[in-house]
Amino acid sequence: MLKLHYNLEKISMGLVGAIIAVASVGGIVEIAPLFTIEETVEIPADMRPHTPLELAGREIYIREGCYACHSQMVRSLADELDRYGPYSLAAESAYDHPMLWGSKRTGPDLARIGGKYSDSWHMAHLIDPRSVIPVSIMPAYPWLTRALDTRLIEDSLATLARLGVPYDADMIENATADALAQSRPDSDGAEGVRDRYGEDVPLRDFDGDPDRLTEMDAVVAYLQSLGTLTGEARRLMAEEDE
């Protein structure tokens, strides 16, 4: 076998052809299942898409490069299940464009971070990480207290709708208003958010400043949504434990 490889290396075009053949096989193995992904990945009945405010927070999360240090994929290994909770399901990322699974963990995985800490903890952690975790090496993001730019929220929902995310015309039309209403539970638009995204959608002032809609509102809303868009993973794990 080594002799065959040695002889193949002497023939440059033959080596190139062999590399292309091997890479093609690997590509086909990875790509072919994607043509049947709608049949193999079943969307849970209780799965909901991100609200406009959460989606805006996700865009800021990507903009600030948070995905470079935090994965969003709990693997089915005992130590990960003990630390993070139920392993991630493909269906949980069905509406994510792009997906943020990742493998780099300079910081902990965030797939199950929703509800683990309070809004005020997240806000303090983002403004000054060392104030809550003295040994943290995470950079600070004090500028997230600035006003949230909502001009592209409707366009973002419309684009994702074309990619298959179940945003209907009513959701798109009310996207900007819903982003504001989610952070103001006593406003007239709050019930509209629940009507469009479900009764379990959190409606509250995420950054502690009810008079302004900020990037901090959006990022905290997004972090609190992670792992909460469906309860399917926890149900499956509970069944496996029985």
> Where is pLDDT greater, at 15 or 73?
73
CA nearest 168: which of 188, 189, 196, 192? 196
What is the 8-class DSSP label of residue 65?
T
146-155: average pLDDT: 96
Q: What is the pLDDT of residue 2?
A: 63
Confidence of residue 38 (pLDDT cuts 50, 70, 90): low
Q: Worst-scoring range by mean pLDDT, 17-26, 33-42, 57-66, 177-186?
A: 33-42
User: Which of 185-215 are b and which e, b meaning 16 or more Cβ less than 10 Å from the residue's Cβ?
Assistant: eebeebebbeebbeeebbbebbbeeeeebbb
Position 201 pLDDT exceeds 70: yes
CA quadruple 145, 151, 152, 153: dihedral, nearest 10: 70
Confidence of residue 9 (pLDDT cuts 50, 70, 90): low
State the CB neighbour count (10 A cutoff) for residue 153. 23
Q: Worst-scoring range by mean pLDDT, 13-27, 130-144, 151-165, 212-226?
A: 13-27
Confidence of residue 131 (pLDDT cuts 50, 70, 90): very high
> Where is pLDDT greater, at 104 or 174?
174
Q: What is the pLDDT of residue 104?
A: 85
> Where is pLDDT greater, at 106 or 42?
106
Position 36 pLDDT exceeds 70: no
> Where is pLDDT greater, at 42 or 68?
68
Q: What is the mean pLDDT of the chain?
A: 91
pTM equals 0.85
Position 145 pLDDT exceeds 80: yes
Q: What is the pLDDT of residue 86?
A: 93
